[in-house]
Amino acid sequence: MNTASHPSNNHHILDNERLLSTLFIMKQPALGQKISELRKRKGFTQEELVDKCNISVRTIQRIEAGEVTPRSYTIKTILSALDYDLESIAQEDSPLTSGFKKLILLEIDDSKKASFLINHLRIAWISGIVYFLLGFAELYIEYYRYNDDQLVVTESMYIVIKLLTLLSLVLFTRGFVVTGKILNNYLLRITAFIFICIGVLFYLYDIVSLYTMRLDYQFILGAEAITYGVIGILFGIAVLRLKDSLGTISLVTGVFELITYGFMVTVLLSIVGMFMLTPTIILEIILLYKVTEMVKEKVRNF
């Protein structure tokens, strides 16, 4: 009989895989601190935990102090005594990751007041206007930089414009993360988040490339067109899904996004997509403004 195919063995193997994943994600001293936190949350002393899991108090003390990395069986026994499962620890984010998600508003506490959402939506559409206007200055500068290999502004001014444009882009796109949260549109939240990430990467490359050897600009433009094109098409689909809540504006905006980013992903016709960005961004600003007004109206009628 092949024991590897037995259901109980498969379940045991899956448990071990989850435990290995947990150990990989949470190492000492973080693991010990978590166990100590869970123990105190349950109101147990170290001696009481010993009684429940039959592990020596010295071992518990050393684990919580981060002095040793316990065996997988020991962790499993302790967590079982604390009524805590492996998945819960494995899914927890590090403080850095959690802080980043809160900054991008990918995770919003349900206890946040409506005024919090309204303020961030207002910041988003105003930032969209700033991003739209800065885009013309950026386009002018980049045209001469990549085509004539000359910088028409000082390096300091170039960096300031790039950082301001990036900041306005992040704040603008965060509005769609918030919109996805409000209207339960997970695809919108994730694609907006990815837009922010790739925006940060490409803008930082533009700045760093001032002082290092640049890659072939045609390669960079092609990579940007394909990346933005693929994510933009998914983003457009997500916006179309808002039509039941927002009506015509989401339908028109979604169609423009599909056309704009559809041209971009072809690379050869990406210049058409660049021109299409102008009305598309305007529609996105209007859409965020509509969401802001919708939330304000619901608050007034509550």
Give the domain CATH number at 51. Answer: 1.10.260.40
Together in a domain, 242 and 295 = yes
Nearest to 206 by CA among 166, 260, 247, 246: 166
Task: Give the CA count within 13 Å in the CB-facing half-sphere of 156.
Answer: 0
54 and 180 part of one domain = no
Tell me: do 195 and 289 sit in the same domain.
yes
Indicate whether 136 and 275 sit together in one domain. Answer: yes
My answer on whether 150 and 260 are in the same domain is yes
Domain count, the chain: 2
DSSP state of 4: G
- Range of 39's domain? 3-92
Examine the domain organization and report whether 14 and 57 are in the same domain. yes
Amino acid 203: pLDDT: 93
| 168 and 238 belong to one structural domain | yes
Are 172 and 131 spatial neighbours (Cβ–Cβ below 8 Å)? yes
Q: How far is it, in rounded angstroms, from Cα 90 to Cα 103?
A: 22
Both 51 and 105 in one domain: the answer is no
CA distance 164 to 13: 51
- Answer yes or no: do 115 and 70 share one domain: no
C-alpha 80/C-alpha 95 separation (Å) is 25
CB 129 within 8 A of CB 174: no
For residue 189 the two structure tokens come to 């939240």
Q: Which amino acid is at 242?
A: L
Q: Do 72 and 135 share a domain, yes or no?
A: no
Same domain, 169 and 256: yes
Can you give the pLDDT of all 302 residues of the chain as single tens digits?
444 444 444 444 444 444 444 444 456 677 788 888 888 888 888 888 888 888 888 988 988 888 887 777 788 888 888 887 655 555 555 554 555 555 555 555 555 567 888 899 999 999 999 999 999 999 999 888 888 888 899 999 999 999 999 999 999 999 999 999 889 899 999 999 999 999 999 999 989 988 886 667 778 888 889 999 999 999 999 999 999 999 999 999 999 999 999 999 998 898 899 999 999 999 999 999 999 999 888 877 76
Which of 74, 92, 110 lies at the terminal end of a domain, its last residue?
Answer: 92
CA–CA separation, 175 vs 183, rounded Å? 12
Residue that terminates a domain, selected from 63, 92, 121: 92
- Running DSSP on this structure, what letter comes out for residue 93? P
Residues 274 and 130 in one domain: yes
Q: Answer whether 199's CB lies under 8 Å from 207's CB.
A: no
The C-alpha R_g of the chain, in whole angstroms, comes to 25
231 within 8 A of 260, measured Cβ to Cβ: no
Alpha-helical segments (H) within the chain = 7-25, 30-42, 46-53, 57-64, 72-81, 86-90, 95-104, 114-147, 155-182, 186-208, 217-240, 243-246, 248-265, 270-301
> In angstroms, how far is CA 29 from the centroid of its own chain?
27
Residue finishing a domain among 92, 108, 125: 92
Q: Are 174 and 124 in contact (CB under 8 A)?
A: yes
